[in-house]
Structure 1
Amino acid sequence: MYYNLRFLAIEFLKLIPFYISVVLYFSLVRQDQVWTLWTSALRCLPIMALMFYVSIKGLSIKKHYGQSQLILIGLMFSCAGDVMFNLLLFALGMTCFGATQICYMFAFGWRPLKIIIGACLHISSIGLIYFVIGHLNIAHLIGVFIYCTLITGMFWRSLARALHVKSFLAFFAAVGAALFIISDALAAVIHILHVKLPAPRLQIMITYYAAQFAIALSTADEGRPPAALGSEQ
């Protein structure tokens, strides 16, 4: 499926509130650790802007809007997770983001399965968990294992869909899923392994917002007939 430049330009323009909210967050929240409701609200603004985008670009309870519905719910869980993390409620935050990954996983679908890709990704995920075993107690380790399984499954489904559909938006969603993993990996390196990186919050949040942006944008053509998208370049 091809997307003309006008279609993509319109979709990017609809996301102006997201761009503004990201700028506001990084402009007004300058410290790496500020745990207040005010900073939580600023942190959630970009995700709320993406929720608004997914809703206004077209949404229905009908089956052919299933991806948009699930991604919208996933964004809601992400927003809750952001508040939990910003208030140092890590267990609740991880639970919320685990629910987000489940929503995204089902949004990307299960056909084709591409089990080999899934197996390779999950084996790699287990290998990465090995590096943090000595830094976590058993309860935290179980939580990290479950979350890594979920986010790896989400990336697997996005990649399988991109390889099958072979469209720009599906590929963009897979890039977003990869960025989500990078963001969480950075958070693990900084907060679990205690590796000092320059501007850690900046690295984590930029990749996180970019991931959510790409995943939300992947719903742009859902529910629209192919003729409405056009094939002009």
Structure 2
Amino acid sequence: MTRSRVPSALFCLFALAAAVDLLSLAVGFEPGHAVVKPLLMPLLAAWAALRGAPRLLVAALLCGWGGDTLLLFDADAAFLAGMACFAAGHVCYLVLFTRVGRSRTGALLLVPCYAVALITTVVLLRPDLPAELRLPVAVYSTLLTAMAYTAGTRLGPVAGVGGALFLLSDTLIATGVADWPQPPRPDLWIMLTYLAAQFLLVRGALGERRPARERADSLPVAAGPG
């Protein structure tokens, strides 16, 4: 395999692993999900790294891998540790999006939308969450919402959709912990929205870096003193 084909091969492996994972969840084959889930983010991170992804982007995906793996264990300590991993990933995303992105027209219009979504979710979920999870979920939700908002307002619509899907995926998890009514096969919808979110965030970040380099390359060189 030539070096130029490695990124394509990695992406195909990621797509295949994602399809196997989603199919396993759709048919209720838990062993398939348990085996494939920990492979997803490392494959996506490797693909992104070979596409020139910055370290913060790779770090965010590896934090997601840590969270994915920990959430496979049915224990409160594992859930909190997994939440901490995802929170660290959101911090990486926030710093990255702020560095490589640029402020976009209409960004302020999204502030009330995300603020209302955050406040409504936290307030409604709080009574039904275990007492020890109320504060961590509120803090995590704030960080996640900030990441989703920043993705859309600094990187554009592709990353913005990714951030919104990440918010939706984690809201489904939180409502499950709160014992709210769930759609059929909730784990399938959680993983579907999560995988789409991570992929779109990566595409948005990679797409934002490329024009920046091209603009830098096209700047005229200042003439020295004559």
- Report the TM-score range of the alignment, normalised by the length of the smaller protein: 0.7 to 0.9
Give the AA of the match of 1:214: L
Aligned length: 200
Q: Deviations over 1:30-52 (max 9, x none)?
A: 66594x7x844411222122101
User: Following TM superposition, by how much is the alpha carbon of 1:140 offset from its aligned partner in structure 2, in angstroms?
Assistant: 0.7
Of 191, 197, 200, the residue aligned with 1:211 is 197
Q: Deviations over 1:151-198 (max 9, x none)?
A: 000011112114xxxxxxx32111111110111112222331331311
Contact 2:17–2:39 (CA under 8 A) maintained in structure 1: yes
- Which runs of 5 or more structure 1 residues have no equivalent in the other structure? 1-10, 60-67, 163-169, 228-233
User: Following TM superposition, by how much is the alpha carbon of 1:132 offset from its aligned partner in structure 2, in angstroms?
Assistant: 1.1
Q: Deviations over 1:82-108 (max 9, x none)?
A: 111111210101111111111111111
Give the AA of the match of 2:199: F
Higher relative contact order (CA 8 A, sep 6+): 1
Give the percent of matched residue pairs that are identical in Structure 1 and Structure 2: 25
Matched, 1:159 2:152: yes
- 1:41-190 aligned at under 5 Å gives the runs 41-59=35-53, 68-88=54-74, 89-109=78-98, 112=103, 114=107, 117-118=110-111, 120-162=113-155, 170-190=156-176
User: Following TM superposition, by how much is the alpha carbon of 1:226 offset from its aligned partner in structure 2, in angstroms?
Assistant: 3.1
Distance (whole Å) between structure 2 residues aligned to residue 137 and residue 105 of structure 1 = 28
TM-score (norm 2): 0.77
User: Following TM superposition, by how much is the alpha carbon of 1:72 offset from its aligned partner in structure 2, in angstroms?
Assistant: 0.8
Contact 2:25–2:185 (CA under 8 A) maintained in structure 1: no
Q: Deviations over 1:106-164 (max 9, x none)?
A: 111175395664455234301211111111233311001001100000011112114xx
Question: Which structure has the larger Rg over C-alpha atoms?
Answer: 2
User: Which residue of the partner structure matches residue 226 of structure 1?
Assistant: 214
- Decide which structure has greater helix share: 2
CA RMSD of aligned residues (A): 2.8
